[in-house]
Amino acid sequence: MYNKKVRLMVKYALMIAVTTVTTMAINIPAPAANGYCNLGDAMVFASAILLGKKGGFIAGGVGSALADLLLGFSFWAPFTFIIKGLEGFIAGYILETSFGKKHSFLALLPAAAWMVAGYYIVKIFLYGWAPALAEVPITIIQSSVGAVVATLLGTAVLKTKIIEDPRQMNDKSNIQ
């Protein structure tokens, strides 16, 4: 039991780190509403694919917020924690359903839509509707690319059997 908990903590820590680094590695400024475009969504989604809804929330929220802090966007970190955390949770939740077990990419789209809507709403309050609307296409592209990359990466990693597929585990598993 102790060994399983330690392994799970290591998996969470690894995905938090990978999410942070991936978000920071390539970030393109989106000046209309003081944001940036990045590849972090790929790792948020990959976390959900590999670790389920709880892992998606933890890695997505903590890893993305940590990247904001380290890149100097500390103002965004609380919003990012909630938006990206819920993005990972929604993706993981849908992936654990019978629909998600068969259609990984399509299962990620509602979570991607949540991320776009979440940032849009926050940006409306902070900058007004015009700058918020100007960044919607960028966040749509970011989340779509992330969903494609995560589907390919997650499928490849699960085929190696290095990690158990959370979609195949029952509700009493250690993933929850």
Q: Which of 97-106, 124-133, 134-143 has the lowest mean pLDDT?
A: 97-106
* Bigger pLDDT: 169 vs 37: 37
Work out the average pLDDT over 55-74.
Answer: 97
What CATH number is associated with residue 35? 1.10.1760.20
| pLDDT value at 156 more than 80 | yes
Q: How confident is the model at residue 58 (pLDDT cuts 50, 70, 90)?
A: very high
Task: Give the per-residue pLDDT at 168.
Answer: 74
| pLDDT value at 172 more than 60 | no
Q: Read out DSSP for 5-66?
A: HHHHHHHHHHHHHHHHHHHHHSEEEEGGGTEEEESHHHHHHHHHHHHHHHHHHHHHHHHHHH
Task: Give the per-residue pLDDT at 169.
Answer: 66
Task: Give the per-residue pLDDT at 100.
Answer: 67
State the residue range of the domain holding 133: 2-161
| pLDDT value at 104 more than 50 | yes
In a domain, 168, yes or no: no
Task: Give the per-residue pLDDT at 162.
Answer: 84
Q: Report the alpha-carbon distance of residue 86 to residue 54 in Å, rounded.
A: 10
In a domain, 172, yes or no: no
**Cα within 13 Å of Cα(110), Cβ side:** 13
Could you tell me the pTM of the whole model?
A: 0.91
Residues of the chain with pLDDT > 90, as a percent, come to: 75
Count of domains observed in the chain: 1
Distance from chain centroid for Cα 77: 14
